[in-house]
Amino acid sequence: MNPWLSDLPATVPEALERAGRAFPDRGMAIFDSRGRKYERRTWTEVHQGAVQAAGRWAALGVSPGQPVMISVPTSWTWVDAWLGALMRGALPVAVAPGAAMGAAEAHVRKVDTLVERLGAKYVVTSEALRRDAQALGADHAAGAVLTPAELAGTTPATFSAPTPGVDDIAFLQLTSGSTGMPLAVQIPHRSAIHNAAATDEAIGAPHGGPSAVWADSLVAWLPLHHDMGLIGCFFLSMLAGIDFWLFPPTAFLARPRTWLDHLGSHGKSFVPAPNFGYQLCVERVTENDREGLDLSSWGSAMTGAEMVRPETIDAFCEAFGPVGFRREVFRPCYGLAEATLTVAVDLTGNGPRTRSLPGSAGSDFGLSEVVCVGSAIRDTEIQVVAPDGSELPDGEIGEVRVAGPGVFAGYYNAPEASAEALKEGRLATGDLGFMWQGELYLTGRIKDVLILHGHNIMPHELEWQAESVTDGGGSMRTGAFSVARGPQGEEAVVVVETNDRDADKLNELGREIRNRIGRNLSIPVADLVFVRRGQIPKTTSGKVQRRALKAQYLEGQLQRLDPSQD
């Protein structure tokens, strides 16, 4: 056992108190919406802010074990409210703010449903949501709204801090919502601490130890309501006692160069980010913009949260290699909210590796190469199983199942969904993949499989083919799904975001996309729809919400750029 892992705090409140005591000069900084100015607090000050906020929650009548929702952008308001609820013994639930989830009405309906489903006493959010909820008759949301000003203006009460056990639930983490209304994952204190520490150990494997041994800072832009931002950034930094520099997602999306600047400005640094974040840097940071960058101190670039694209890795290395970025810095990983976060990490530090699909996988999968996402983190076991639950040998594609201390304690107030996700003590992830010599290779998700003309095709296979034509994948995405076409059965629909408006150009792109998909996947595209950038619904980590996109398509809500392609 790594001695660092054997000397960890038992609960999240203990971890926060320990960070302030053990690392008094280290802390956390949050940048403004432009990524220029920031407010920094030491870990001691973060702890003090949480204790003050806990007193406010107590004064508002929030009891231990009671859910409260936080739906504000990345800010100190978020940190104080979320940590304060946890210190009070309540169950904080982070919800993406409205701008990240689309139209105001859809956001209100989602918050209203979550408040009712979870029995949340309050939701910290804007006054605008209260007005919108009242106008829409969303009574659960309207009655629960607590504005940041109202929370900050509450005089803290004296309260007895609860002493949670390691198996008590620390907080509720919402699933990504990529396939519908999110569920609330119950995360015990033990899981939160172990997963962050084991993730840190895995990231540090090529560097000789956890981040405290080799790194100075973690520089990220992932929102704290996302499990990768919360566990993989905030908790990890707090446990390790390193500096955490956090950009709001809006700042990164507008100016990715600023984020890259800071990756070279705070000593040896590392960061987790989804594939689309690296692709966005390729698209937005031009050769001229790269002048003056120095990425030589970037220790590890974790890439996960969505399928890792070999093309993105190649393009990023080509673009930023001249300013010090090294290919071996890329570290693919795999995780999900139901596992607290991390399941597997590339432990070698030799750069991303791909493998052709084994011949035994048959011809149903159009992918030719898939990226290795590494080995299981400490105390975690990965199996790939057949539909009957039997374990498959290396090279056979099946469902990925996970066992270990990070596996969640079920969904809150959802026993049927919990029973479906937990099979004999193992987490049935819904992800497809295969093992090879102790390492995991992902191929897609079971529920996303498109059955087209008797073949199983993953939607990202069509999406990547289209994006190879449009150079998308970062700020502009593609979504693919299938629809029933009477006696023809299921047929493929591809929706592509683009900045092009010229009809001739769109027709040319359409022909090339159809040809490329047909040539490489032997799949005809029944309908190809071009839409403006930003019209495809996505989660806050950049995943395309295919189910929501399909619903918009079927309801005629997509605004086509070229009606002639109907």
pLDDT digits (tens, 9 = 90+) for 102-143: 457 878 988 999 999 999 999 999 999 999 999 999 999 999
**Mean pLDDT, the chain, as a whole number?**
89
- For 342-392, how does the pLDDT look when each residue is reduced to its tens digit (9 = 90+)? 999 999 999 999 998 765 444 344 456 889 999 999 999 999 999 999 999
Of the candidate ranges 41-45, 180-184, 411-415, the one whose mean pLDDT is the lowest? 180-184
The span from the CA of 186 to the CA of 407, in Å, is 10
CATH number of 449-565: 3.30.300.30
Q: Find all residues with CB under 8 Å of 405, minimum gap 6, and list them.
A: 190, 191, 194, 195, 379, 380
Q: How many CB atoms lie within 10 A of CB 2?
A: 13
pLDDT (0 to 100) of residue 483: 83
Q: Find all residues with CB under 8 Å of 283, minimum gap 6, and list them.
A: 471, 474, 475
- For 274-308, how does the pLDDT look when each residue is reduced to its tens digit (9 = 90+)? 888 998 999 899 999 999 999 999 999 999 888 88
> For 276, which DSSP code?
H
- What predicted TM-score, i.e. pTM, was given to this entire model? 0.83
- pLDDT tier for residue 543 given thresholds of 50, 70 and 90: confident
Is the pLDDT assigned to residue 22 strictly greater than 90?
yes
The span from the CA of 272 to the CA of 270, in Å, is 7
Higher pLDDT, 179 or 170: 170
Average pLDDT over residues 549-556: 86
Q: Find all residues with CB under 8 Å of 340, minimum gap 6, and list them.
A: 173, 187, 191, 192, 194, 195, 227, 231, 406, 407, 408
Give the closest residue to 251 by CA, choosing from 273, 223, 230, 232: 223
pLDDT (0 to 100) of residue 195: 97
Give the residue extent of every domain in the chain.
43-188, 449-565
Express as a percent the part of the chain with pLDDT over 70.
92
How large is the C-alpha radius of gyration of the chain? 23
Architecture of domain 43-188: 3-Layer(aba) Sandwich (3.40)
- pLDDT tier for residue 488 given thresholds of 50, 70 and 90: low
pLDDT (0 to 100) of residue 367: 54
- For 181-240, how does the pLDDT look when each residue is reduced to its tens digit (9 = 90+)? 789 999 999 999 999 999 999 999 999 999 989 999 999 999 999 999 999 999 999 999
pLDDT (0 to 100) of residue 309: 83
Is the pLDDT assigned to residue 445 strictly greater than 60?
yes
